[in-house]
Amino acid sequence: MLTVHHLNNSRSQRVLWLLEELGVPYEIVRYQRQPDMRAPKELRAIHPLGKSPVIIDNGNTIAESGAICEYIIGTYGNGRLIPPPNTPERLRYTYWLHYAEGSAMSPLLLKLLFTLMPKRAPALLRPLVRKVSNTALTTLVNPQLRQHMDYWESELAKSEWFAGNEFTGADIQMSFPLEAAAARGGLEQGHPKAMAFLERIHARPAYARALEKGGPYVVGR
């Protein structure tokens, strides 16, 4: 049976959701974040980088969300959650599947980093760190994040889902950047199409089942 090495409140929630959408049986091995929010060292026994998600299936150990999504849909999808080959929708699907981690998450991670830095700096250095962080957020991170959010909004104005008018694995991949942007990036300000996308995915029964099995998910809620 397929095994998901699942870190609480992480990208691996998407893997559970994908498996629920396809009705694939799986088991969960759970890991809890440390107080500093990093993954526990036990994950390094599964994959050298010690990151989540990681799945093991038929002797294959697979990391990286996009690769996991491609593997699961290719192995168990039977044509579901992926547009037909040689169509414009398939090209969009491939693009969004990889854009989600390749481009979208960078400004969101920088936003988190520069927001946390002043809080974790030594007291004497905190004013300086706050000044540097605020400058980075104002001049670099926030404008870049706004550009990405505006891009999502314009693309979702073209079709109900990212790859077209049918829900696909690309939407599962894109859920994490949009949920992170809603949680800490101001997505609700001027992006009604993106917010409506979040409402649609949160209403899906498979999403709810994955939440029940995966545990608390602060990023998305």
First to last CA, the chain: 30
pLDDT the model gives residue 105: 95
pLDDT the model gives residue 8: 84
For range 204-217, the mean pLDDT: 92
Residues in the chain: 221
For range 128-146, the mean pLDDT: 95
Going from the C-alpha of 10 to that of each of 87, 123, 205, the distances in angstroms are 32, 30, 20
pLDDT tens digits, residue range 142-168? 999 999 999 999 999 999 999 999 999
Q: Is the full-model pTM beyond 0.75?
A: yes
- In whole angstroms, give the CA distance from residue 59 to residue 82: 25
Query: Please, what is the average pLDDT of the chain?
Result: 94
Residue 215 contacts by C-beta under 8 Å, 6 or more apart in sequence? Answer: 8, 9, 30
Domains with residue ranges and CATH for the chain: 3-82+207-214 (3.40.30.10), 88-204 (1.20.1050.10)
pLDDT the model gives residue 220: 47
Within 13 A of 122's CA, how many CA atoms are on the CB side? 2
pLDDT tens digits, residue range 75-122? 999 999 999 999 999 999 999 999 999 999 999 999 999 998 999 899
For range 185-190, the mean pLDDT: 96
Closest CA to 39 of 66, 8, 14, 65: 8
pLDDT the model gives residue 212: 94
For range 42-48, the mean pLDDT: 90
CB 3 within 8 A of CB 57: yes
**Residue 57 corresponds to which amino acid?**
D
On the question of pLDDT at 31 being above 50, the answer is: yes
CB 210 within 8 A of CB 13: yes
